[in-house]
Amino acid sequence: MSHTRRALLLTAFAASVAPPAFAQANDHMTIGAANAPLHLTEFASLTCGHCAHFHESNWSTLKTRYIDTGRVRFTLHEMLTPPPAVALGMFQVARCNGASADQYMRRVSILFERQAAILGSGTLAGVRDALVAAGAEWGLTPAQVVASLNDPAGAERIRRSIASSDALGISQTPSFLFNGVRGTDQAFVTPEGMVRILDTRLAAL
């Protein structure tokens, strides 16, 4: 069963009383042609096992067959699942040092691949060390990684992300929008189902 982000509201932000602001243009990362006929939005968390499985199974095909060919524009809408502090930290490192959208997506793919190892460290210190090591592979210094983990702007961005997902009725990860309309076919998370659904939607445009 897909993770819900209600745990986030009960754990990470229970103490927050300020209402979140509306989402900003740079809150979500987008790649692909601006004039692509289909805009696919994924609501995902870097600590969600279902999201990791989708990216490990489907991302290569989605990227090369649909995004790189100009048929699909892709947006990742950041969500948090338990442990929320780790999910936020992973997203922060993916964005670290002004990463471009393409850099961010490459980092996200790697972090999904390493999800089990990062979570398996068992402590926040272990997670930090794993993220510092990943950052070093991307040319980031430990100071840059730690600064990104401590940046309060990240938590504010996620609050806005949650507010906008609430407005859309999104409560599970992964969830998908097709040109702004929520998809309900659970087969989309399989490679074969994704190809079938994307080809059918594209043919209808």
pLDDT of residue 117: 95
Lookup: tokens for 185: 């076919």
Q: How confident is the model at residue 143 (pLDDT cuts 50, 70, 90)?
A: very high
Domain range summary for the chain, segments of one domain joined by +: 3-15+26-204
Winning range, highest mean pLDDT, from 3-7, 13-17, 58-62: 58-62
Query: For residues 74 and 62, is the Cβ–Cβ distance under 8 A?
Result: yes
In this predicted structure, which of 1-5, 12-16, 93-97, 146-150 has the lowest mean pLDDT? 12-16
Q: How many CB atoms lie within 10 A of CB 55?
A: 24
| Residue 156 pLDDT > 70 | yes
Q: How many CB atoms lie within 10 A of CB 15?
A: 5
pLDDT of residue 24: 65
| Neighbour-count burial of 168, counting CB atoms closer than 10 A to its CB (0-12 exposed, 13-18 middle, 19+ buried) | middle
Phi, psi dihedral angles at 191 (to 5 degrees)? -55, -45
What does the pLDDT look like over 67-125, one tens digit per residue?
999 999 999 999 999 999 999 999 999 999 999 999 999 999 999 999 999 999 889 99
Lookup: tokens for 166: 């609430």
Peptide linkage before 82 cis (omega within 30 of 0): no
- CATH class, domain 3-15+26-204, is alpha beta
Output the average pLDDT for the chain.
Answer: 89
Three-state SS string over the chain comes to CCEECHHHHHHCCCCCCCCCCCCCCCCCEEECCCCCCEEEEEEECCCCHHHHHHHHHHHHHHHHHHHCCCCEEEEEEECCCCCHHHHHHHHHHHHCCCCCHHHHHHHHHHHHHCHHHHHHCCCHHHHHHHHHHHHHHCCCCHHHHHHHHCCHHHHHHHHHHHHHHHHHCCCEECEEEECCEECCCHHHHCHHHHHHHHHHHHHHC
pLDDT of residue 102: 97
How many residues in total does the chain contain?
205
What does the pLDDT look like over 29-59, one tens digit per residue?
999 999 999 999 999 999 999 999 999 999 9
Q: Please name the residue that has the structure tokens 């309060």.
A: 152
